Amino acid sequence: MRIGIDGRKIPEAKFRGSLGTLDHAKSLGMEGVFFRTILDVSPTLDKSVIRDLRQRADELGLYLEAGLGKVNPYALPETPEVRELGDGDTLLGFRRMMEACAEFDIRELWISTAGIKQQYRGRFTTDRFRTDVSWEDQLEATRRFMMKLKPIALDLGIHLNLETHEEITTFEILRLIESVGEDVVGIVFDTGNIFIRGEHPVFAAKRIAPYVRQTHLKDAYVELIEDGAYYQSRMCGSGLVDFTAVLTELNKYRPDLNVTIECDTPRLGAVKGEPHFLELYNPEWIAGHPDLSREEYAAYFELVRDFTERIRKGMVKTWQQHHSENFEYPEAIQCIEYSRQHIENICKELGIKRGDRAHA
């Protein structure tokens, strides 16, 4: 098991470029970089750029992972760059990205079903509650599109890994894997996002561990309020996630799994506005999660209630305190180091072997 960093969230990523990011990650003690999409490496899929990145990663002994983007046709208009890659043909754009990754032995590829809309509040921050098209129709369209990608993935020997993103549940991802095939579809386990869908992190880990091939490790702050809860991502070891239990489950099925830390990017000044608002008590929200069992939902509330008590007692920084603090380059680096050390300590306690070459 190797510990790396998200290539989009690491500080100064845009300034340093993809090659500089590898060197930066290495200097921080990281063992790999997970670029969110291959277009973060080269927007034009320049082979010389990707080749140099592959070579530099190998020289530094770093794992290299990447992604493709959204596979929900109803969300594809948000990523016109993919269509442009295919000269107007979205499927061809995906094929070209997949071929570029496979040529340089980048075979675990991130995909997602949509993207969060931060400017809205509550359930409408995600595509799950769109009223122009149902979530069920979006999932079916996603399934059909992934079936078009399947023969390409099989031919190239790569895996398409769906993230446990803000808008989709682990139950729905598992059904997509069953329908499309685990020979080409896996999971990117984001340990923070699942709280947005009311799922308990350990329950979720036990459910999806056999299919997890990539990760986004981050912790979560969830505070109960009168009409729901506030959610905020936090550095590993400072929130609700029991990483000991989560890593135990993941290690059962993939001891050579790469675990990637997803940190917050530096910012200037205080953050304005409230964090992500969860409408946990809204009947429409509840009805929109039919797979959640009473047992898991009760465990979720117990976990969040206890955490809320810790917030009230001053044992955990409130989201208001968190928003008001400086979070520039030094603080971002401290956050990365804290997270890395937390995960390393757990691996040591559990006897998880470290430093193996990632599964390809």
Q: How does pLDDT run across 243-278, given as a tens digit for each residue?
A: 999 999 999 999 999 999 999 999 888 888 899 999
pLDDT of residue 268: 82
User: How do residues 204-246 score in pLDDT, each as one tens digit?
Assistant: 999 999 999 999 999 999 999 999 999 999 999 999 999 999 9
pLDDT of residue 37: 96
The answer to whether residue 43 sits within a structural domain is: yes
3-state secondary structure 7-52: CCCCCCHHHHHHHHHHHHHHHCCCCEEECCCHHHCCCCCCHHHHHH
Contacts of 277 (CB under 8 A, 6+ apart): 121, 122, 125, 228, 229, 230, 231
Count up the domains in the chain and report the number. Answer: 1
Residue with tokens 């929900």: 72
Alpha helices in the chain (DSSP H): 13-27, 47-60, 80-85, 90-103, 135-156, 170-180, 201-208, 243-253, 283-287, 294-312, 319-324, 329-350
The answer to whether residue 10 sits within a structural domain is: yes
pLDDT of residue 4: 98
Check if the beta carbon of residue 64 is closer than 8 Å to that of residue 33.
yes
Rounded CA-CA distance 104/52 in Å is 10
pLDDT category at 356 given cuts 50, 70, 90 is low
User: How do residues 121-166 score in pLDDT, each as one tens digit?
Assistant: 889 999 999 999 999 999 999 999 999 999 999 999 999 999 999 9
Give the bridge partners for 66, in sequence order.
109
> Sheet containing 258-261: which strands, arranged edge to edge?
212-216, 185-190, 159-163, 108-112, 63-70, 32-34, 2-6, 258-261
Please tell me whether residue 342 adopts helix, strand or coil conformation: helix
The answer to whether residue 283 sits within a structural domain is: no
Q: CA nearest 77: which of 39, 115, 46?
A: 115
Please tell me whether residue 89 adopts helix, strand or coil conformation: coil
248-111-35-29 Cα dihedral, nearest 10 degrees:
0
Residue 196 has pLDDT above 90, yes or no: yes
Contacts of 311 (CB under 8 A, 6+ apart): 223, 318
pLDDT category at 358 given cuts 50, 70, 90 is very low
The answer to whether residue 322 sits within a structural domain is: no
> Sheet containing 228-234: which strands, arranged edge to edge?
219-225, 228-234, 276-278
CATH code for the domain in which residue 164 is found:
3.20.20.150
The answer to whether residue 121 sits within a structural domain is: yes
pLDDT category at 357 given cuts 50, 70, 90 is very low
Range of the domain at 62: 2-219+237-268+327-350
Please give the structure tokens belonging to residue 42: 């080269």
Rounded CA-CA distance 166/360 in Å is 27
Write the single-letter amino acid at 260.
T
The answer to whether residue 203 sits within a structural domain is: yes
Residue 17 has pLDDT above 80, yes or no: yes
Q: How far is CA 268 from CA 10, 209, 265, 324, 325, in A?
A: 16, 37, 10, 11, 10
The answer to whether residue 287 sits within a structural domain is: no
Packing angle of the helix pair 201-208, 170-180 (nearest 10 deg): 10
Q: Phi/psi class of residue 38: alpha, beta or left (left: φ > 0; alpha: ψ in -120 to 50)?
A: alpha
Contacts of 104 (CB under 8 A, 6+ apart): 50, 51, 53, 54
The answer to whether residue 294 sits within a structural domain is: no
Residues in the chain: 360
Q: pTM for the complete prediction? A: 0.95
Please give the structure tokens belonging to residue 76: 């594809």
